Amino acid sequence: MATIQIGDLVIGGRKKLMIAGPCSIEGRDQLLDIAREVKAQGAQMLRGGAYKPRTSPHSFQGLGPQGLFHLKEASEETGLLTVTEVMEPEELDLICKYADVLQVGARNMFNYPLLKRIGRTDKPVLLKRSFMATVEEFLLASEYILKEGNKRVMLCERGIRTFDQITRNTLDLASVPILKKMSSLPVIVDPSHGTGRSDILIPMTLAALVAGADGIMIEVHPNPKKALSDGLQTLDFPHFRELMAEYRSLCKYIEDQESRRTGQSFSGAAS
């Protein structure tokens, strides 16, 4: 398994990664409040959309460059690494100045010119699986980035469309061990988009860890009912604390089992 190092953080190793933050950056105070909370609970990376692809052109589309400034400020105050979405090649140079990790959203997984352009940067990439992509198509999309020279790619399972509408998408946890068998890239799971339901995020997070995910990405907001995007799949602060308590406990159990298997002790997410 290949690992990705960003500063002191190693992704794909024994320590699990927690990425948390709002779907959309709505303002400076909102983002700073969230960044402080997720940092206090043990997250290592802050997510936040400055540019937001939305199904409806009338929906909130993000703050653009102003959102990037807020993201950078939150990172400098808390020490959290940051990830934000790139939608167009023209935005790439600016985003690279303000974010630590470039996210390719589900809608752009098949945007091969964008993938090639990102592949020519030295920034780590979080590549999300399209909601209509097979596992093979997902892996081939990652090859567009890798082929250009950027080897620091993380794969993100975020749910696919099926016939069932009880959840927003069907979170394909079977893809996690399959991707890890077929690729050496770290695998992140996004239960927020994968289910669209905040009430089942805790069990789906734990299931993703058991399936072998190297990290989790969760949406967090101080008041999800007033969030400008994806409030139904977003945790408030008390429920995020509850999730993190379960997360730390399971990470510790997984670490202990790995220690017994290998005969080695190590420090992980719960330590």
For residue 197, the 8-state DSSP code is -
Distances (CA, A) of 81 to 52, 54, 76, 102: 20, 25, 9, 11
Looking at the 3D structure of the chain, how many domains does it have? 1
Q: Is 271 a member of any domain?
A: no
The answer to whether position 201 is within a domain reads: yes
Confidence (pLDDT) at 54 = 66
pTM above 0.85, yes or no: yes
Which residues span the domain enclosing 109?
4-53+65-260
In a domain, 251, yes or no: yes
H or E segment and range at residue 9: strand 9-11
**What is the reported pLDDT for 259?**
81
Would residue 191 count as lying in a domain? Answer: yes
The whole-number pLDDT of residue 105 equals: 96
Query: Which mean pLDDT values do the consecutive 10-residue runs of the chain (271 residues) have?
Result: 92 95 96 98 97 74 90 98 95 96 97 97 97 98 98 98 96 98 98 98 98 98 94 97 98 89 59 37
Answer whether residue 220 is part of any domain.
yes
CB burial of 101-119 (b: ≥16 within 10 Å; e: otherwise) equals bbbbbbebbebeebbebbb
- Residue 139 belongs to some domain of the structure: yes
Task: Write down the pLDDT at residue 264.
Answer: 62
Residue 259: which residues within 8 A CB-CB, separation 6 or more?
265, 266
Residue 59 maps to a domain: no
CATH value at residue 151: 3.20.20.70
Question: Is residue 123 within 8 Å of residue 102, measured between CB atoms?
Answer: yes
pLDDT at 117: 97
Q: Is 199 inside any structural domain? A: yes
